[in-house]
Amino acid sequence: MALRQTPLTCSGHTRPVVHLDFSDVTESSYFLISACKDGKPMLRQGDTGDWIGTFEGHKGAVWGVALNSEATRAASGAADFTGKVWDAISGEELHSFQHNHIVKSVDFSQDSALFATGSNEKLVRIFDLNKPEASPDIFSGHTSGIRHVLFFRNDTHLVSCADDKTLRVWNRSTKEEVQKVTFPCNPNSLEVSKDGSVLTVAYSNKVAFYDAESLNKIRECTIPSPVNSASLHPDKSIFVAGGDDLKVYKYDYQTGTEIESFKGHFGPVHCIKFSPDGELYASGSEDGTLRLWQTTVGKTYGLWKCVETGGLNDSFQKEVQAN
């Protein structure tokens, strides 16, 4: 008897959910932040989806979010031309950095001292949070708006992708572009693997994996739908992807074969990401919800309970309106 995947539905947003991020595992489990076009990023308990708080202050759609590893700081980038840093415990706004166009992507360095933004100005910036009044370091070279930027190679570099069909690696000390990959169309999502060794990029109907040092392509898989986002499991055994056909897909990373797919959203999937322990993955959709999916269906974890009935492993799970 096959076990049915029952995602936990996290409601509360009123517009499409376009980006999400997890903290690392902390003393109190781990946390999840979501970016939404309603302008109100939300913080949740990562393993249950329970709502913790909403960051109030943006005056436009929020396109990118980040949590630092300890879940003490949150960041958001929005259509109001600001990148904001928040105290993730109190919800207080700590810094607001003005830009000249929409801020699409934000990220923290490992020590949480540096804050990176990527914007429709075609620029990557790094702000020093210990000296917030100081001018940021600026990295220029992209010829279109930047979709994603991440600290890279133990924070010695940055990696970004943009609507100029490129992925670029920047040396932080020289502020120079040192590597570039060109795609046949715009890359939609960018992820650095948990161990820092693999870049995962979704574009068109493909998910491509690159060696993080050489940028040589390791492999590429074709998905049955245009892909908006993909995420590699922390142990690099599987990856998940989501896109325009409303499904979330799970694939074997080594062989590229599809393991399973699930439909739960009522709109295209805009973002998908594994939790830091790899036990679940979260997806955000045009339908305004986040959903949490079990990596191993039927396992007792978080709000999912698994019971033995009549010798068959059957899971009883309820959809939780985690808000």
pLDDT digits over 147-185, tens only?
999 999 999 999 999 999 999 999 999 999 999 999 999
CA atoms of 273 and 158, how far apart (whole Å): 20
pLDDT classification of 305: cutoffs 50, 70, 90: confident
Distance CA 49, CA 52 (A): 9
Q: 291 in the Ramachandran plot: left (φ > 0), alpha (ψ -120 to 50) or beta?
A: beta
Rounded Cα gap, residues 152 and 154, in angstroms: 6
| Residue at 142: amino acid letter | H
Q: What is the pLDDT of residue 313?
A: 36
Residue 310 predicted with pLDDT over 50? no
Rounded to whole angstroms, the Cα distance separating 246 from 157 reads 35
- Quote the pLDDT of residue 2: 61
Note the CATH number of domain 8-316.
2.130.10.10
Contact 192, 212 (CB under 8 A): yes
Are β-strands 103-108 and 114-119 bridged in parallel, bridged antiparallel, or unpaired?
antiparallel
Please tell me the predicted confidence (pLDDT) of residue 28.
87
Whether the predicted pLDDT of 69 surpasses 90? yes
Q: Are 38 and 55 in contact (CB under 8 A)?
A: no
- Residue 1 has a pLDDT of 52
Q: Are residues 103 and 57 in contact, defined by beta-carbon separation less than 8 angstroms?
A: no
Give the pLDDT of residue 309.
41
Residue 182 to residue 162: CA distance in whole angstroms: 10
Q: Which residues pair with 286 in a beta bridge?
A: none
Q: What is the pLDDT of residue 312?
A: 33
Record the pTM.
0.93
Q: By the 8 A CB rule, do 239 and 223 touch?
A: no
DSSP character at residue 135: P
Please give the pLDDT value at position 308. 44
Cα gap 194→219, rounded to integer Å: 18
- Across the range 2-28, mean pLDDT stands at 93
